[in-house]
A and B are shown apart, each in its own frame.
Chain A
Amino acid sequence: MSLQVDNLTVYYQTLRGDVQALEDATFSIADGEIMGLAGESGCGKSTLANSLIRLVPPMRFVRGQVRLDGEVLPIDDARRMSDYRFSRLSVIPQYAMNALNPTRKVGKMVAELLGSKGVDFAAMIPELKRRLDLVELSHDVLKMYPIELSGGMKQRVVMVLSTLLNPSLLIADEITSALDVSTQKAVAEMLVGFRDRGFVKSLIVITHDISILYQIADTILIMYAGQLAEKAPTDVIIRAPRHPYTKLLIASLPEVGVRYAKRRLSGIPGRPPLLLDPPAGCRFRERCSVAFEKCLEAPPFVELEPGHFVACWKELGEDADA
């Protein structure tokens, strides 16, 4: 097990009270696994990612435990967490195109960052150059300022930099969102390449674009309104989802070869609840066509088949019947 998360609960402190952005997340990621994390805006994807690497106010750690390679991470202690960041777990942030200091040459910034972490930059140069080749960047980028690079180049620099120390876990947060379709594919394949070459042991790829996950992810975790809904191998999520939300989400994706002029794309009726004061129990209840009294209690995230976790009373009940 590369990553093991238990009952992780993180709220945002606001003047009007706590926004319950992440509630009792429990899941694990195996060595070498690329886990896609999907869900609509505001469902807690980025909150989950941020709480793993950089839990700062207004985020507030409520409860839970995170273990990386069997070691408990001090995620609520920013100072102690610094030792794990970069070397053990790392991130390619959503804002990768603005992530470099505009007044430092790329190479100098990398050198200063590594130096501050006690890593010998000179010894890293051959490896750094090898990896730049891998993402098809010229070595000259090290002598350039970020302003001289295109957005895509900056993102690849960040990809190389973030994974330079071979972390166990890499979180890629919406990295394909700002790219055109052909570049998306190239970036997605680079991530797989990083895993295959052992630069990173396992990956969390956050996106709202399920088609990207279909190409690269081994498993997909679906979130809804701060709760985990379903986790299963990619094929299973796409072809045989069991949570009602996942079913509707997959059904609302466009299919190749269908002309949507004739058949309207279906959406999911209703909107997600406000997380400032969310309804008790299953948060999808209001929009769910199969909801019943039991849904007033929060459903547990249960492994129905090996590797297939679902949080839905209906599925649990049917399983119990069978």
Chain B
Amino acid sequence: MRRYLGRKLLIYVLTFFLAVTIDWLIPRFMPGDPVQTMLSRAALHAEAVEVMHGYYTRAFGLDVPVWQQYLNFWVAIFHGDLGTSVYLFPQPVIKVIMRAVPYDVFLLLPAILLSWFAGNWFGAFAARNKWLDNTLLPLGYILTATPYMWLGILLAWLFGVVLGIFPIAGAYSFSMRPHLSWAFIGSVLKHWFLPFASIFLVKFGGWAIGMRNMIIYELEADYSHYLEALGAPRGLIRKYAFRNAILPQITGLSLDLGVIVAGALVTEVVFSYPGIGYLILQAIQNQDYFLIQGCFLFIIIGVLLANFAIDIAYVIVDPRTRLGMVGESA
């Protein structure tokens, strides 16, 4: 067990190092100069621009050689310092991100978990049921093949524009300030529903299709046939098939949970929902090196943590992993 975890940990550390390096490289490969972009918006005199440019370049630490910038970046990370946002100067990146994360968790956690439970349950139920297989599963295929933003736009159009039931932009009414009251909570929920529904539906289709196919595969496995040959009731055979079919779905769930902090970029853009996804778009459009880096760093950490959690969960749910470990160290 310790050996297994130790080896896994080493892999995660290496992955983290590489991912963070790439994360640092990517914004710097973008054409253009962030400080220039920022100053051009201020419409200053040419002389003032020169002075300001020098000042900000020093302030962001962009005046030292590239290798020095890279080292400084690592040192800063271990001090919990992700730099200052260029686009929202002078707010620190960490503060900007922390403001957006709750919206992502609030939007995606229920969407992912509920769609996972509902999709798996429905997929298992529909497998080998002629009527459901022929009617509702094609719907699942359509849903899972639908791009998030297209479904989002469709829902916004139908429920927001045509029926006028739900608002189509923002996380709460533009006329409100965040505070604790029923009116505000109601407004948050109302704004939350459409983005939630668009993510839930697409994911639900994916889980249902995946589960249906896995169950059919398991029902055709030798152990299922043997149980049938021994006259085991359908319920027992399906129970075993479900338990074995859920294993790959758990992996899928973990990967989904890992990118919660990444937000749902296209959905958030469609609904102007102020999560990380929306933030990333803003950061890229403004060449905000530090905000881009910060957002991606969050995603990297999230994905790695989720993967690590699932490695451990697998040890618990799948005896084959657990026993494989024993075999290796013996």
Pair from one complex: yes
B235 surroundings in chain A (CB, below 8 A): 116
Closest residue of chain A to B246, judged by CB?
A: A103
Task: Say whether B231 faces chain A, with CB atoms less than 8 Å apart.
Answer: yes
Choose one: B222, B318, B320; the contact of A99 (CB below 8 Å).
B222
Is there an interface contact between A103 and B231, defined as CB atoms closer than 8 Å?
A: no
- A147 and B233 in contact (CB under 8 A), knowing A95-B222, A158-B226? no
A25 CB, min distance to chain B CBs, angstroms = 20
Task: Say whether A215 faces chain B, with CB atoms less than 8 Å apart.
Answer: no
Closest residue of chain B to A94, judged by CB?
A: B222
Chain A contact residue count (CB 8 A cutoff): 32
Closest residue of chain B to A96, judged by CB?
A: B226
Is there an interface contact between A101 and B240, defined as CB atoms closer than 8 Å?
A: yes
A83 surroundings in chain B (CB, below 8 A): 231
B248 CB, min distance to chain A CBs, angstroms = 13
Is there an interface contact between A103 and B243, defined as CB atoms closer than 8 Å?
A: yes
Is there an interface contact between B225 and A147, defined as CB atoms closer than 8 Å?
A: no
A93 surroundings in chain B (CB, below 8 A): 222, 225-226, 229
Is there an interface contact between A81 and B320, defined as CB atoms closer than 8 Å?
A: no
A66 CB, min distance to chain B CBs, angstroms = 16
B236 surroundings in chain A (CB, below 8 A): 112-113, 116
Contact with A along B95-109 (1 / 0, CB 8 A): 000000000000000
Task: Say whether A104 faces chain B, with CB atoms less than 8 Å apart.
Answer: yes
Closest residue of chain B to A98, judged by CB?
A: B222
A101 surroundings in chain B (CB, below 8 A): 223, 227, 240, 244
- A98 and B223 in contact (CB under 8 A), knowing A145-B323, A147-B319, A147-B320? yes
Interface size class of B (residues with CB under 8 A): 20 to 34
Task: Say whether A47 faces chain B, with CB atoms less than 8 Å apart.
Answer: no
Contact with B along A130-170 (1 / 0, CB 8 A): 00000000000000010110000000001001100000000
Q: Which parts of B10-47 form the interface with A (CB within 8 Å)?
A: none
Q: Which parts of B217-247 form the interface with A (CB within 8 Å)?
A: 221-223, 225-233, 235-236, 240, 243-244, 247
Is there an interface contact between A84 and B222, defined as CB atoms closer than 8 Å?
A: no
B243 surroundings in chain A (CB, below 8 A): 103
Is there an interface contact between A117 and B223, defined as CB atoms closer than 8 Å?
A: no
A95 surroundings in chain B (CB, below 8 A): 222, 225-226
Please report whether the interface of chain A is mostly helix, strand, loop or mixed according to DSSP: loop
Q: Which parts of B191-240 form the interface with A (CB within 8 Å)?
A: 221-223, 225-233, 235-236, 240
Task: Say whether A53 faces chain B, with CB atoms less than 8 Å apart.
Answer: yes
Is there an interface contact between B319 and A103, defined as CB atoms closer than 8 Å?
A: yes
Is there an interface contact between A99 and B226, defined as CB atoms closer than 8 Å?
A: yes
A145 CB, min distance to chain B CBs, angstroms = 4
Contact with B along A52-86 (1 / 0, CB 8 A): 01101000000000000000000000000111111
Contact with B along A84-121 (1 / 0, CB 8 A): 11110011010100111111110000001100110000
Choose one: A81, A102, A104, A158; the contact of B231 (CB below 8 Å).
A81
B232 surroundings in chain A (CB, below 8 A): 82, 86, 113, 116-117
A230 CB, min distance to chain B CBs, angstroms = 28
- A91 and B229 in contact (CB under 8 A), knowing A99-B223, A104-B240, A112-B236? yes
Is there an interface contact between A82 and B229, defined as CB atoms closer than 8 Å?
A: no
Is there an interface contact between A86 and B230, defined as CB atoms closer than 8 Å?
A: yes
The distance in angstroms between the C-alpha atoms of A95 and B227, with both chains bound, is 12
- A102 and B223 in contact (CB under 8 A), knowing A82-B233, A86-B230, A113-B232? yes
Is there an interface contact between B319 and A117, defined as CB atoms closer than 8 Å?
A: no
The distance in angstroms between the C-alpha atoms of A99 and B229, with both chains bound, is 11
Is there an interface contact between B319 and A145, defined as CB atoms closer than 8 Å?
A: yes
B66 CB, min distance to chain A CBs, angstroms = 51
B244 CB, min distance to chain A CBs, angstroms = 6
Closest residue of chain B to A161, judged by CB?
A: B230
Is there an interface contact between B230 and A85, defined as CB atoms closer than 8 Å?
A: yes
Closest residue of chain B to A83, judged by CB?
A: B231
A200 CB, min distance to chain B CBs, angstroms = 14
B232 CB, min distance to chain A CBs, angstroms = 6
A56 surroundings in chain B (CB, below 8 A): 228
Q: Which of B223, B244, B323 has the largest count of A CB atoms less than 10 A from its CB?
A: B223
Further pairs besides A56-B228, A86-B232, A93-B229: 4, Cβ < 8 Å: A86-B231, A87-B231, A90-B229, A95-B225
Q: Which residues of A contact B (CB under 8 A)?
A: 53-54, 56, 81-87, 90-91, 93, 95, 98-105, 112-113, 116-117, 145, 147-148, 158, 161-162
Q: Which residues of B contact A (CB under 8 A)?
A: 221-223, 225-233, 235-236, 240, 243-244, 247, 318-320, 323
Leading 7 A-B pairs by shortest Cβ distance: A85-B231, A99-B226, A98-B222, A82-B231, A86-B230, A95-B222, A145-B319
